[in-house]
Amino acid sequence: MFPKNAWYVACTPDEIDDKPLGRTVCNEKIVFYRAGDGQVAAVEDFCPHRGAPLSLGRVCEGQLVCGYHGLVMGCDGKTVSMPGQRVGGFPKIRAYPVVERYGFVWVWTGDAALADPAKIHHLEWADNPDWAYGGGLYHLRCDYRLMVDNLMDLTHETYVHAGSIGQKEIDQVPVTTKTEGERVVTSRFMDKVMAPPFWRANLRGNHLPDDQPVDRWQVCHFVPPSHVMIEVGVALAGKGGYHADAKDKVSSIVVDFLTPETETSMWYFWGMARNFNPKDRNLTAQIRDGQAKVFAEDTAILEAQQRNLSQYPDRRLLMLNIDAGGVQARKIIDRLVAAERAPA
Amino acid sequence: MFPKNAWYVACTPDEIDDKPLGRTVCNEKIVFYRAGDGQVAAVEDFCPHRGAPLSLGRVCEGQLVCGYHGLVMGCDGKTVSMPGQRVGGFPKIRAYPVVERYGFVWVWTGDAALADPAKIHHLEWADNPDWAYGGGLYHLRCDYRLMVDNLMDLTHETYVHAGSIGQKEIDQVPVTTKTEGERVVTSRFMDKVMAPPFWRANLRGNHLPDDQPVDRWQVCHFVPPSHVMIEVGVALAGKGGYHADAKDKVSSIVVDFLTPETETSMWYFWGMARNFNPKDRNLTAQIRDGQAKVFAEDTAILEAQQRNLSQYPDRRLLMLNIDAGGVQARKIIDRLVAAERAPA
Amino acid sequence: MFPKNAWYVACTPDEIDDKPLGRTVCNEKIVFYRAGDGQVAAVEDFCPHRGAPLSLGRVCEGQLVCGYHGLVMGCDGKTVSMPGQRVGGFPKIRAYPVVERYGFVWVWTGDAALADPAKIHHLEWADNPDWAYGGGLYHLRCDYRLMVDNLMDLTHETYVHAGSIGQKEIDQVPVTTKTEGERVVTSRFMDKVMAPPFWRANLRGNHLPDDQPVDRWQVCHFVPPSHVMIEVGVALAGKGGYHADAKDKVSSIVVDFLTPETETSMWYFWGMARNFNPKDRNLTAQIRDGQAKVFAEDTAILEAQQRNLSQYPDRRLLMLNIDAGGVQARKIIDRLVAAERAPA
């Protein structure tokens, strides 16, 4: 259950630096590669000659060459040439709209006529020297919506991430959920708490004391089709919290691009964008390593949850106040899917 | 094909010492844990909130806490509490009758109203200082009834366990099978034979000569739903065999609790109880190591047999005299299952 | 889709030297072993007693003994004996016609009444002191017909085997395909080309210069049910090519026995027979190692192609001139299968 008329993050540019990349997105088997003009390209991962995956081939002078018999495929899905063959009558394979932006490769898996790059969610922190970004990629065997639920309700941090970002107070402070058009925002503000280990490290990373009470916040933004951006941070207590002056806080944006692979598996592009010490590459690496550990804790839970749900498909789950963010986000997803399927 | 109204061995206490244990028994996904009063508890391994397995959580002050969002589950399947939530209306999950006895945790997978701990098969050797017990657990991808067959017909020892407990004479001496109510007994007595390696070691372990003829016996007891206890031993020849004085023999009970996981997989709790040198822990460990090797030889055969039977489901197997124990045991199992399914 | 009334290569003699071999051929689970008179034998890998695979047993004095309860199986599928049992009424299992010839064990998977050893494809290079043979076995998860296609169209060498036997000229020279009865021959002759690495090594192996232009040929012979023999070689340019005198060329036969395991998996017996330096065992080993690397390159492509075809079963593939060999071979296969299925 995912909208196909949408921009999804397919990969990062380094994944196609040296060779084509085969990846399934929204049930579509696609090969991504860097074409002649430096532009990214994406076509079906299926050679029209004998069905070999084009991703096993190579890029020669900007053109994708099948690794089996040398068929040369164009970015538009039309065969360009093949040794000793006239290719005019070869069947076209599907080409996918694809855009490189903000350090990611975005693919549109639905009707190409509707693919407008302007619809790609704006990322204020990308391509901005005041910010630094680090992240990674996990493959999970679960419906991507379980991850939407997970990220729109950070109550789980107390339990799943007890040793890093969890703390008892998350549990105790209620969340507020608002839906604004196609976006959902879930907010939690915890005043005068002690920072957990992850944030103590970041306070030190920004030359602030780590042994004093802080005001902590989490503001989760769901953006269709399945992106979740979470503003997180701590400020020295009483300095204005979320609105505190930059010198009194450390804050960042947890970046989550959730890309469906199939109905029950997903690609999880995770990372963190921060606007303190953006030049400090060691800090970037250190944060990424910390996040990698934290998010690995989620994968075990979510894959086990998926196995349970697959085994008991008829069970109704609870939808509590803490689940409101996920519930609202799923309603938006449902609406988008229904609109796509409606007769024109 | 297994009775659900029955006590099965689910685990050993050490498996739930530190954390909850998720285990499927008779197709039921169950979490086992030690509750507040030291009692064992068992409920569905499915959090009523979002379906996460409760076995990924932890026990806090004797209560099972979901590892995802902190829901506190009671032993009766009713949610006790959840941070920030009223839980009165939460759906109940299933609780399973469970008893710790004889060094095992027993679960009743059927109608809880019928679960009478008095129905747990009495083990005369357990909780008895004159006896020692050592054992282990194997997971097998086969119908547990293939293991019933295996254990109720020890002819296979000659072939499967040629290097340890097998000997040609097993083949040559006929077996006797008797059904007494819900129990089946298969007996084989071999007089004046040389002991195979396993028994020679045990003779030495009991300070008896290992180079003289012995009388050897095997008496297999099937007890529903799927327990097989095998009295085994050797006595110096002519001293009375099975009935010989304790000083002239070594004997023990091979303990086999066969717990269905699914229709084609099982948990095999195997072990040996002995009443000679019960304080000798090295001997216990040595016997267990020997058994572990012997029983691993069965697993390869049984899993391959299961694959063959699954591939050719319509083939009729032979039921020879040596198979009578398994055949009778299966009839009892069939009768129990039919009775369960009959309208009241 | 494979003819069953055919001789397939099942194994090499060394695979049954020490113990029985269980192998599935054309969906038949078969145990191969060396019987009492040194003859090979093949029966269903299914003990009529309890369904254990007979291949887990052993051969005693030329007879196959089940490893579970000691049933002794005859080469004809009739039980010979079993300890303590009368076996006259035991059901027969299927026996398969099997022949050891040319260094391979051949099995007939269809109607035994039609199994005529004279129908085994003659191999002029086998049992001939002027020739040497070396080869190996790969298991592939693909329809064996994808390998027929692969071998009947060597255009792929340019792409799949760029570092060993591939060269650009293969692409540029057209192939000729002829069907003669049940046989298909695809030929390609490349004149005045530089030899690729594999052939340069062989030229040196035959004491010929490796830095001069050569005439190169590839003549692929498809023989039902699924054998492909490829005459390959290079001669110093202008010396007559394929017909050059033995002193001016190196040539050999690429030997490919493609044995279906299931509809989507196969056993690939590959090798090379050569008639230069036949006594040089180091050369045999060196050629085999080179081939092993080359043919491993095919397996990755073919298994990925199979996954693509399984995912998109309705797609029509192209049948170009270079595919004619495979297309013709498949027509013969289709005809054989249709004839088998036709009512008598």
**Helix (H), strand (E), coil (C) string for chain B:** CCCCCCEEEEECHHHHCCCCEEEEECCEEEEEEECCCCCEEEEECCCCCCCCCHHHCEEECCEEECCCCCCEECCCCCEEEECCECCCCCCCCCECCEEEECCEEEEECCCHHHCCHHHCCCCCCCCCCCCEEEEEEEEECCCHHHHHHHHHCHHHHHHHCCCCCCCHHHHHCCCEEEEECCEEEEEEEEEEECCCHHHHHHHHHCCCCCCCCEEEEEEEEEECCCEEEEEEEEEECCCCHHHCCHHHEEEEEEEEEEEEEECCEEEEEEEEEECCCCCCHHHHHHHHHHHHHHHHHHHHHHHHHHHHHHHCCCCCCCCCHHHHHHHHHHHHHHHHHHHHHCCC
Is the CB of A89 inside 8 Å of chain C's CB atoms? no
Contact flag C320-A52 (C-beta cutoff 8 Å): no
pLDDT in the model for residue B183: 96
pLDDT in the model for residue C158: 84
Measured distance CA(B216)–CA(B164) in Å, rounded:
14
Is the CB of B85 inside 8 Å of chain A's CB atoms? yes
Residue A126 forms part of a structural domain: no
Residues C142 and C281 in one domain: yes
- Mean pLDDT (whole number) for A301-312: 96
- Mean pLDDT (whole number) for A242-271: 96
pLDDT in the model for residue B97: 98
Q: Using alpha carbons, list the distances in angstroms from residue A257 to A165, A221, B2.
A: 20, 12, 46
For chain A, how long is the longest CA-to-CA vector?
A: 76
B141 and B264 Cβ atoms separated by less than 8 Å:
yes
pTM over 0.80, yes/no: yes
Residue C124 forms part of a structural domain: no
pLDDT in the model for residue A205: 81
pLDDT in the model for residue C193: 94
Nearest by CB to residue A84, choosing from C300, C309, C322, is C322
Measured distance CA(B332)–CA(C6) in Å, rounded:
48
- ipTM of the complex as predicted: 0.91
pLDDT in the model for residue B100: 97
Residues A201 and A277 in one domain: yes
pLDDT one-digit tens code per residue, A179-219: 999 999 999 999 999 999 889 988 988 889 999 999 999 99
Residues of C in contact with A90 (CB under 8 A): 318
Chain B interface test: which of C21, C45, C50, C79 (most B C-beta within 10 Å):
C50
Residue B125 forms part of a structural domain: no
pLDDT in the model for residue B64: 97
Contact flag A321-B84 (C-beta cutoff 8 Å): yes
Measured distance CA(C149)–CA(C142) in Å, rounded:
12
Nearest CA-CA distance, residue B63 and chain A, Å: 15
Contact flag B51-A153 (C-beta cutoff 8 Å): no
Nearest CA-CA distance, residue B68 and chain A, Å: 5
Residues B115 and B184 in one domain: no
Residues A30 and A80 in one domain: yes
pLDDT in the model for residue B168: 82
Measured distance CA(B305)–CA(A206) in Å, rounded:
64
Chain B interface test: which of A155, A309, A320, A330 (most B C-beta within 10 Å):
A320
pLDDT one-digit tens code per residue, B91-101: 999 999 999 99
Nearest by CB to residue B46, choosing from A149, A156, A308, is A308
Is the CB of B45 inside 8 Å of chain A's CB atoms? yes
pLDDT in the model for residue C298: 93
Nearest to C2 by CA among C126, C107, C116, C153: C107
- The overall average pLDDT reported for chain A is 94
Contact flag A67-C305 (C-beta cutoff 8 Å): no
Residues C281 and C220 in one domain: yes
Cα-based angle C277, C282, C288 (whole degrees, multiple of 5):
95
Q: Which two tokens stand for residue B145?
A: 């009834």
pLDDT band at A34 (very low <50, low <70, confident <90, very high): very high
pLDDT band at B12 (very low <50, low <70, confident <90, very high): very high
Residue C1 forms part of a structural domain: no
pLDDT in the model for residue A344: 67
Measured distance CA(C254)–CA(C152) in Å, rounded:
12
Contact flag A318-B49 (C-beta cutoff 8 Å): yes
Domain end position, chosen among C119, C149, C183: C119
- Mean pLDDT (whole number) for A10-25: 96
Q: Cβ of A96: how many Cβ atoms within 10 Å?
A: 22
pLDDT in the model for residue A202: 86
Residues C51 and C97 in one domain: yes
Contact flag C160-A68 (C-beta cutoff 8 Å): yes
Question: Given CA atoms C161, C162, C164, C166 in this order, what sign does their dihedral have?
Answer: positive
Residue A201 forms part of a structural domain: yes
Is the CB of A256 inside 8 Å of chain B's CB atoms? no
pLDDT in the model for residue B299: 95
pLDDT in the model for residue C265: 98
Ranges of chain C with pLDDT below 50: none
Measured distance CA(C3)–CA(C144) in Å, rounded:
12
- Mean pLDDT (whole number) for A251-274: 97
Contact flag C308-A52 (C-beta cutoff 8 Å): yes
Chain A interface test: which of B30, B63, B68 (most A C-beta within 10 Å):
B68
DSSP A308: H
Residues of C in contact with B158 (CB under 8 A): 70, 83
Domain end position, chosen among A94, A119, A144: A119
Q: Report, in angstroms and rounded to the nearest whole number, the Rg of chain B calculated over CA atoms.
A: 22
Pairs of CB atoms within 8 A across B/C: 69
Domain end position, chosen among A92, A119, A146: A119
- Mean pLDDT (whole number) for B310-314: 94
Residue B126 forms part of a structural domain: no
For residue B344, pLDDT over 70 is answered with no
Contact flag B159-C65 (C-beta cutoff 8 Å): yes
Is the CB of A333 inside 8 Å of chain B's CB atoms? no
Residues of A in contact with B31 (CB under 8 A): none
Nearest CA-CA distance, residue C317 and chain A, Å: 5
Among chain B residues, CA nearest to A175: B84
A134 and A307 Cβ atoms separated by less than 8 Å:
no
Residues B173 and B258 in one domain: yes
Q: Which two tokens stand for residue A288?
A: 């990424």
Chain A interface test: which of C145, C154, C159 (most A C-beta within 10 Å):
C159
Give the 3-state secondary structure of residue A160. Answer: helix
Chain B interface test: which of A158, A175, A315, A318 (most B C-beta within 10 Å):
A318
Contact flag B65-A308 (C-beta cutoff 8 Å): no
For residue B212, pLDDT over 80 is answered with yes
Contact flag C56-B304 (C-beta cutoff 8 Å): yes
Residues of B in contact with C68 (CB under 8 A): 156, 159-160, 301, 305
DSSP C276: S
Is the CB of A318 inside 8 Å of chain B's CB atoms? yes
* CATH number of A108's domain: 2.102.10.10
In DSSP notation, C66-133 reads -TTT-PEEPTTS-EEEBTTB--TTSPPPPB--EEEETTEEEEE-S-GGG--GGGSPP-TTTT-TT-EE
Is the CB of A298 inside 8 Å of chain C's CB atoms? no
Measured distance CA(B27)–CA(B109) in Å, rounded:
9
A51 backbone φψ class: left, alpha, beta (φ>0; ψ -120 to 50): left
Contact flag B67-A301 (C-beta cutoff 8 Å): yes
Chain A interface test: which of C150, C308, C327 (most A C-beta within 10 Å):
C308
Q: Which two tokens stand for residue B116?
A: 């009478």
Among chain C residues, CA nearest to A30: C308
Residues B186 and B64 in one domain: no
Residue B124 forms part of a structural domain: no
Contact flag A45-C159 (C-beta cutoff 8 Å): no
- Mean pLDDT (whole number) for B229-239: 95
Contact flag C309-A45 (C-beta cutoff 8 Å): no
* CATH number of A223's domain: 3.90.380.10
pLDDT in the model for residue C133: 96
DSSP A149: H
Measured distance CA(A179)–CA(A328) in Å, rounded:
7
Structural domain for C264, as ranges: 132-341
Residues C83 and C138 in one domain: no
The domain tally of chain A equals 2
Residues B149 and B288 in one domain: yes
Residues B168 and B73 in one domain: no
Residue C125 forms part of a structural domain: no
Is the CB of C161 inside 8 Å of chain A's CB atoms? no
pLDDT in the model for residue B223: 97
Measured distance CA(A212)–CA(A195) in Å, rounded:
8
Nearest to C2 by CA among C214, C191, C204, C263: C263
Nearest by CB to residue C301, choosing from A29, A67, A83, is A67
The neighbours of chain C, by the rule of 3 or more Cβ pairs under 8 Å, are A, B
What b/e sequence results for B133-164 when a residue is b if at least 16 CB atoms lie within 10 Å of its CB, and e otherwise? bbbeeeebbbbbbbbbbbbbbbbbbbbbbeeb
Residues C142 and C263 in one domain: yes
